Amino acid sequence: MANFSADFLTNYNTQSGSKNSTFKLPPNAEALNSSSCGKENASNPSLIIAFGNGHTLTLNFTRNSTRYSVQMMRFVYNLSDTQIFPNASSQGPKTAESVPDITADINKKYRCVSSNQIHMNNVTVTFIDATIQAYLSNDNFSKEETHCIQDEPSPTMSPTSAHPSSSPPHPSPTSAHPSSSPPHPSPPHPTPPHPSPTPPHPSPSPVPESPSVHKYNVSGTNGTCLLANMGLQLNVTYKKKDDKTVTRVFNINPNNTKVSGSCTTQQVTLELQSETSTFLAFQFGKNASSSRFFLKEIQLNMTLPDAKVPTFQASNSSLRALQATVGNSYKCNAEEHIWVTEAFSVNIFKVWVQAFQVEGDKFGSVEECQLDENNMLIPIAVGGALAGLVLIVLIAYLIGRKRSHAGYQTI
């Protein structure tokens, strides 16, 4: 059973460049009959929600002796839907996947009033005011609940050293019930404190060159807790003194940036302070039950001399990006685009990051992003098609040669 609102932010390609589309999970979304409660020792529960013109959101669950969680979240969106994706350069369904931080104790419901952003390459899904429970003992949500990490207060940080080296706030809830029993929606709850970001529509500024990729590390009393290779680019939207809204793009220059940070057992922070009075911070958290780390918060504080309000501040502590198993590293050669607020987003280039367990100041086993894995399929498919074409031509040649000797005898 599930009761939640969801916002979608999808980046797609048009003939004139990339474009963002935002839309909500509509009230008439429904659970498909292909949803399942699973079979013991055979299959796990899955909730498949369909809406619009061929869009589906799937939650696959798993459990151990004490907890259950969403093992995989999959969003299939149809670029042929011209109402949501006008002027898309390609057509048909596209798939994005991620392992979200949705977990709860057995016989308890998962409860998250705050917005929970789940990043899947060029798609961001934001759950709002969510109640979810799998492996139910009856047809109602349990009274006891497990709260999400976004609803909990942030832990305090102790400073350590770091070293550089070469959405709409009021969506209507949608309930989904995969079983044939009547719905049991949860009671209304307060408005979430963190509305999901919605992309603005200001006049764009010229896009600068890609930023330099640099290696950062953060160390604490127990050694290195963060390794990061990445290029950083900031997209900031603000009003100028003449009340004109503009978007400017800033590259982070590592040669003019002071690096610091901090380490605790549950949180790692990377702080970047540039000579141009730009302060940028990345906070990584981890989920103990799933043993995965993730980028949970981005903070920005910078000065814009031509802005109506020169001091620009933005932050979001409900992110779920750059995820990998603790002890492994996350790597993505494709550009990652992370919306932080309505007026601020970050482009991350060629990211390779590992938080918490870093052995010998070296990256662990690589977990590649879905976009890189999809890009690998293209040359494989092209190579397979070419091989098939060569085989067809060879067979046609042999058949034609054989027929050309028909009716003749060798002397």
pLDDT digits (tens, 9 = 90+) for 153-165: 654 444 445 555 4
Most distant CA pair in the chain, distance: 97
Question: Does residue 205 carry a pLDDT above 60?
Answer: no
Using CA of residue 400, residue 402, residue 406, residue 411, what is the dihedral sign? positive
Question: Does residue 179 carry a pLDDT above 50?
Answer: no
Give the pLDDT score at 268: 94
Higher per-residue confidence, 208 vs 184: 208
Number of helical H runs and strand E runs in the chain:
1, 28
Higher per-residue confidence, 170 vs 11: 11
Closest by CA position to 103, among listed 111, 94, 115, 95: 111
Closest by CA position to 101, among listed 73, 74, 129: 73
Give the pLDDT score at 216: 95
Give the pLDDT score at 360: 85
Question: Does residue 312 carry a pLDDT above 70?
Answer: yes
| Range in 22-36, 49-63, 190-204, 248-262 with the lowest mean pLDDT | 190-204
Average pLDDT of 375-386? 64
Question: Does residue 375 carry a pLDDT above 80?
Answer: no
Structure tokens at 315: 């932050």
State the residue for tokens 């690589």: 366
Burial of 19 (0-12, 13-18, 19+ CB in 10 A): middle
Higher per-residue confidence, 57 vs 64: 57
Average pLDDT of 288-301? 89
Alpha carbon of residue 151 to chain centroid: 20
- 72 close to 97: Cβ distance less than 8 angstroms: yes
- Quick count: other Cβ atoms within 10 Å of Cβ 386? 10
Average pLDDT of 231-249? 93
Give the pLDDT score at 379: 64
Q: What pLDDT band is residue 406 in, cutting at 50, 70 and 90? A: low
Higher per-residue confidence, 63 vs 379: 63
- Please report, as a single letter, which amino acid is at residue 199: P
Q: What is the rounded CA–CA span in Å between residue 272 and residue 260?
A: 7
Q: What one-character DSSP code corresponds to residue 255?
A: G
Q: What's the first-to-final CA gap in the chain, in angstroms?
A: 82
Q: What one-character DSSP code corresponds to residue 36?
A: B
Closest by CA position to 107, among listed 67, 54, 153, 50: 67
What's 260-295 look like in SS3? Answer: EEEECCCEEEEEEEECCCCEEEEEEEEECCCCEEEE
Give the pLDDT score at 157: 43
Give the pLDDT score at 52: 93
pLDDT tens, residue by residue, 109-131:
999 998 888 887 778 899 989 99
Q: What pLDDT band is residue 405 in, cutting at 50, 70 and 90? A: low
Give the pLDDT score at 59: 95
Question: Does residue 294 carry a pLDDT above 50?
Answer: yes
Give the pLDDT score at 388: 80
Domains of the chain: 2-150 (2.40.160.110), 214-370 (2.40.160.110)
Give the pLDDT score at 187: 43
- Where b means 16+ CB within 10 Å and e means fewer, 191-208 reads ebebbbbbbbeeeeeeee
Q: What is the rounded CA–CA span in Å between residue 299 and residue 42?
A: 44
- 95 close to 73: Cβ distance less than 8 angstroms: no
Give the pLDDT score at 409: 54
Question: Does residue 192 carry a pLDDT above 60?
Answer: no
Question: Does residue 196 carry a pLDDT above 80?
Answer: no
| Range in 150-164, 173-187, 215-229, 387-401 with the lowest mean pLDDT | 173-187
Q: What is the rounded CA–CA span in Å between residue 304 and residue 300?
A: 12
